[in-house]
Every structure is written in structure tokens, then in C-alpha cells.
Amino acid sequence: MPPGTAPYDGTTLPPNRTTGITSLHEARDALGKRLHELRQAAGLSGRRLAESLSWPPSKVSKLENGRQTPTDDDIRGWTRATDSESETEALLASLHTLEVQHAEWQRQLKVGLKPHQQEIAGLDAQTRLFRAFESTFIPGLLQTAEYARFRFAQSITVFKVRNDIDEAVAARVQRQDILYRPDKRFHFVLTEAALRYRLCPPEIMLGQLDRLVSFSALPNVKLGIIGFETAYVVAPAHGFWLLDNDRVMVETFSAELNLAQPQELALYSGIFDSLAAVASYGRSARAIINRVIDDLAPEAPEDSD
């Protein structure tokens, strides 16, 4: 579920040219430069190419300068117009790699919420070690059905996609079976703020907090909570997931970033270790959760007889 995040502000970490956003721009720029080379080799001006494809002239410039991501049809039309159809498959492969790296929610969710949950389940099956840091909300694998329903409702409101909440909730709950597999290991680190944000009614959040206590007892699940009184080494700027040592997933309001460069993996692994090192575990983590439960309980409606 896209939570919305903010980048590091530069006061905690120095700028890094291998961050996901930079890598994305470089990949789009590289694709645009290749399209430019094909047009130049064909001896076509940008205006003439645009006319041949019935495009506005500005589109050619935007594609070549990395300001717009082409579609599959754009690539096919470009190679056809520049007599370079032998390049089509390679360009499409580059485009699809870019789309995976920067998967826009509007595109991913256009057919509904359930298919994306099924896609993530495929990643779950391939992954042995899950490391997740969340500063805003409860991770999907730990969510109750009721809490998940409110998260999916936000996606429908924001992106105006098809309402298949019931199917999406069922798919998310089914994914949680993986928590009981002995060949999988999970390390979750949450901020106390994630336990307190009012993202659902109090009675729903109380059930969610109780579920966290239960999950913390699973032998292959390590749950850390960073209390408000904790001093941070690295600011909890946004949530992210590390899947084995192969991929970092970062969710923003607009897209899911999938990062795989060695420098990116090393950066996020180090940040996770720093955050995990200051978290509380076991009885201490449950004490923080129970503190939040005690604070929230008076706000929940009393059960009627």
C-alpha cells in the first residue's frame, strides 16, 4: 500500500549518486539517448519524426531527454519510423527493466488491488530473509484483515481504481501463511509512531496491536520496536523492505521503487542495521506495544451486551 515517503534531507546522509531516484533518472536518460541516436542515424529531425508518428513535436524531445517514459507502442513506432526495427526487442527490454525499477501505482493497480498482492506473493515465495523497516504503518505481512481493509481503501480513494477490497484483503491474509514456514526468516523494525498513527478506528488498531504481540512469539519472526524515547543514529525518513540481498523495495505516493544495484543494497542494509540496533525486542518490545494499547483502549467503544 503506497504510504508516501520523504527522501533524506542531506543532513543525515551525504548525497549518493547510486540512490534509487538517481539510478532511475540515469536509466531513463540512457534510453532517451539511444532513441536520439537512432533518429540521428536515420537522418530525421525531431519534428519530422513526430509528424510521421502523429505526435506533438514536444514528445520527441521529452523522450530523448528522459523527461517522459515511452510506452511499448512508442518504442515500436520509433524503431519503425527510423528503420531500426532490429533494435526493438533490446529497447523494449530496457523499458521493461525501467518499469520494474519504478513501478507507478496508477499502472500497477489499474486492474485492481488483488493482482498486485498476488505478484508480491510470488516475490515472497522466492525470498528467504525478509528485513522490513516501517515508520508509518504496520507491514502487510503483519496486518489484520480489518487493518488491511483501511489501507486498501486509501488506495482506492487516491488512485480511483477498481474496488476489489474483499479479494485484496483475502490475498494479503493468505500471504501471511509464509510466516509459519520454517525455511523463512523475518526481521521487522517498527517505530512507536507506526503503532499510534490514527489510520483506522481505535477498536481496529487495538486488534492490530494484539496481533503484533502474537506474531512476536513466532520462532522465525524478530520484531523490534523503536520507542519514542530512543535516540536515532539514522532518521526514520521512510519505510523499506530488503528481500534477501537481491532487492530493496521503497514505496512512495506515486510508485514502488525496486532497487538492485550493489551500492543501493549496501546502503539500505547498513541503514537497516543502524535502525535495528536501537530497537527493543522481546519483553521490552511487548511493553511498548502494551503501553500503546493502554493509551488507546479508553477511546474504543465498549462492547454492548
Dihedral sign from CA coordinates of 186, 280, 250, 151: positive
How far is the C-alpha of 301 from the C-alpha of 205, rounded, in Å? 12
pLDDT over 90 at 276, yes or no? yes
pLDDT of amino acid 261: 73
- In a 3-state reduction of DSSP, which class is residue 214? helix
Label residue 23 exposed, middle or buried (CB < 10 Å: 0-12, 13-18, 19+): buried
pLDDT of amino acid 9: 31
pLDDT of amino acid 84: 94
The CA radius of gyration of the chain, in Å to the nearest whole number, is: 23
Give the global pTM: 0.69
| Average pLDDT of the chain to the nearest whole number | 85
pLDDT of amino acid 115: 76
The band of 247, judged by pLDDT with boundaries at 50, 70 and 90, is: confident
Give tens-digit pLDDT for 139-177.
999 999 999 999 989 888 877 878 889 999 999 999 999
Give tens-digit pLDDT for 14-73.
333 334 444 566 777 888 999 999 999 999 999 999 999 999 989 999 999 988 888 889
How far is the C-alpha of 257 from the C-alpha of 88, rounded, in Å? 25
C-alpha cell at 169: 484483503
pLDDT of amino acid 253: 79
How far is the C-alpha of 146 from the C-alpha of 135, rounded, in Å? 20
Name the more confident of 42 and 121. 42
Contacts 24+ apart (CB under 8 A), 87-96: 87/34, 87/38, 91/31, 91/34, 91/35, 94/27, 94/30, 94/31, 94/34, 95/31, 95/69, 95/70
Contact between residue 147 and residue 134 where contact means Cβ atoms under 8 Å apart? no
pLDDT of amino acid 272: 98
Q: Which of 17-26, 86-95, 113-122 has the lowest mean pLDDT?
A: 17-26
How far is the C-alpha of 209 from the C-alpha of 227, rounded, in Å? 15
Give tens-digit pLDDT for 221-233.
999 999 999 999 9
Most distant CA pair in the chain, distance: 81
Dihedral sign from CA coordinates of 292, 295, 298, 300: negative
pLDDT of amino acid 20: 43
CA distances from 196 to 17, 94, 143 (A): 35, 42, 15
pLDDT of amino acid 23: 56
C-alpha cell at 246: 537481491
pLDDT over 60 at 189, yes or no? yes
